[in-house]
Structure 1
Amino acid sequence: MINYFKLCFFSTCLCLFTSTMAAENDDLTSVVIVTGPYPPAINEADEDKGYVSRLVADAFALEGIKVSFIFVPWARGLRMVRLGHEACIMYYGKTPGRVKSFIFSEPLFEEEWLFFHLRSTDVKWQKLTDLSRYIIGATLSYTYSEEFHKLADEKELSVHWVARDKQNWQLLMSGRIDLFPSVKTGWHQLRNLYSEAAIKQVTTHPKPLKSQLNYLLCSKDHPNAEYFRDKFNQGFTKLKKLRSISYYIPDSNGETWPIESN
């Protein structure tokens, strides 16, 4: 009987010790952010890792949290964070599927998606089905619009999916696709691939495919995800009072910090 109680006492102490050690080792002063290449907004080659990365790091820093970034392919990164291997990933728009797996920060930036095309291609459209006569390039894991994905799935639009933006720019410049939806950073990507003379062949249609708010996403399966989301939001609120959006995007043309409409 004495040995039994000794064993129970030892087991209880061990559990308490283990729990205490786990709590002490649960570092809430640093966070790993998973991301992928999206230059110049997110760029592993830059010292600050791009202006989106700088904003996220600055917001966390105001709450005393140090940020490190892991660069992986986009689809792999989503899976890593969805499974709770890391707490956060940036930077994505909201979709019904992502809302099931992630909690979202306050919106970081708003981006307008435009159709890039060669000047030699006459593009006219008012509704998406008007684009059925064109071959459209698209990049896997990107959020275009619910209607765009629906029409692509139903073969109402001729969409050619590839893994990376670079492939779509090559297809566009060679005339193998007619349209490629991208944001303002698309011009940066083109300049890294082609000469200014070649880029003069390219233009954008003025009608946007959509405007999209992008967020820091935190995993519902990571124990500290909600803590880091709340800390980011608190730091971001402070940051927006200190700096304008032009501090991060010099060519923002007077844009203001985005507000999510309910």
Structure 2
Amino acid sequence: MSHLLRACCLLGILLGASHATAENLRLVADAWPPFTDAGMANGGLATQIVTTALQRAGYGVDFEQVPWARALLGVGEGRYDILVNAWYSDERTRIGQFSAGYLVNRIVFIKRRDTDVAFNGDYTSLHPYPIAVVRGYAYSQGFDSDEQMQKVPVHNFPMAVRMLAAGRVQLTLDDELVARYYLSRESPKVRNSVEFLPRSLTENQLRILVSLKNPDHDRIVAGFDRQITAMKADGTYARLLKEFGM
């Protein structure tokens, strides 16, 4: 066997071994369409962006969809490597390392049409009103830490908006695109009884949260951030947004 042929064979073996031992990361998210949802194409927009960036960084991925509280607990315990759809909070830095933001979420309040609740940018003016919030979500640092806010924990946004329509709470809130997605699937009675307040509470950066139980969390975050930058530069990011109608 010639030296060149031996070298080619050796290179093939090494590449094959590298591929076989590539780290497979366990991704998790809750159902939060159009960003994360196992029933949507490629798991939703956020899942597709995250998966593409991680694969370009050299990782294999497995995705599982579970309720939010279970996803967060699983990252903290190391049963999952990456939470796909996380907003920053100081508390979460105890269980994981955040990436830079890769999408922006505009968080808005929703009220019943037949009420005169208003929001002028000062969320403390909302202290008199019960507000349905999804258990475990981080909306904004000030809102989350305000102990005078009358927060009513619920499992998900559909439950929150139905409580709002029934008059059991005065407000709820979520990302505007997420809220519109769910409202489009509600009954006309629910959908037509509520409306968005024009001023947003905040705009949050959507990030991945990599479990501190994974010893390579620094390297995973660095690789992810690097590939998101590259995807924006080469047009991949814009193409994915377009595929999901954004």
Q: TM-score range by the shorter chain?
A: 0.7 to 0.9
Matching residue of 1:143: 138
2:32 aligns with one of 12, 35, 38: 38
1:59 aligns with one of 48, 53, 60: 53
Residues 19-168 of structure 1 aligned to structure 2 (within 5 Å): 27-126=21-120, 127-151=122-146, 153=147, 156-168=148-160
Residues 148-227 of structure 1 aligned to structure 2 (within 5 Å): 148-151=143-146, 153=147, 156-184=148-176, 185-195=178-188, 198-227=190-219
Larger Rg: 1
SS at match of 2:138: coil
For residues 202-230 of structure 1, what are the alpha-carbon distances to aligned partners after superposition, in whole Å with 9 as ceiling and x for unaligned?
Answer: 21111111111110111112123333222
SS at match of 1:205: strand
Contact 1:116 1:180 in 2 (8 A): yes
CA distance in 2, matches of 1:246, 1:236: 11
CA distance in 1, matches of 2:237, 2:93: 26
Q: CA deviation at 1:114?
A: 0.5
Query: How many residues end up aligned between the 2 structures?
Result: 226
What code does the residue aligned with 1:172 have? L
For residues 61-110 of structure 1, what are the alpha-carbon distances to aligned partners after superposition, in whole Å with 9 as ceiling and x for unaligned?
Answer: 32343322111121121121112223211211111111232111121111
SS at match of 2:109: strand
Q: CA deviation at 1:26?
A: 9.4
Contact 1:102 1:220 in 2 (8 A): yes
Q: CA deviation at 1:245?
A: 5.5
- TM-score by length of structure 1 reads 0.78
What code does the residue aligned with 2:32 have? Y
SS at match of 1:55: helix
CA distance in 1, matches of 2:36, 2:181: 12
Q: CA deviation at 1:29?
A: 4.2
Q: Hey, which of these two has a bigger chunk of strand by percent?
A: 2
What code does the residue aligned with 2:101 have? P
- Structure 1 moving runs of 4+ over 6 Å: none
CA distance in 1, matches of 2:207, 2:99: 6
SS at match of 1:209: strand
Pair 1:25–1:59, CA change in 2 (3 A): closer
Pair 1:87–1:27, CA change in 2 (3 A): farther
Contact 2:37 2:65 in 1 (8 A): no
RMSD of aligned residue pairs (Cα, Å): 2.3
Pair 1:177–1:209, CA change in 2 (3 A): same
What code does the residue aligned with 2:184 have? R
CA distance in 2, matches of 1:245, 1:172: 36
**Percentage identity across aligned positions?**
21
What code does the residue aligned with 2:197 have? H
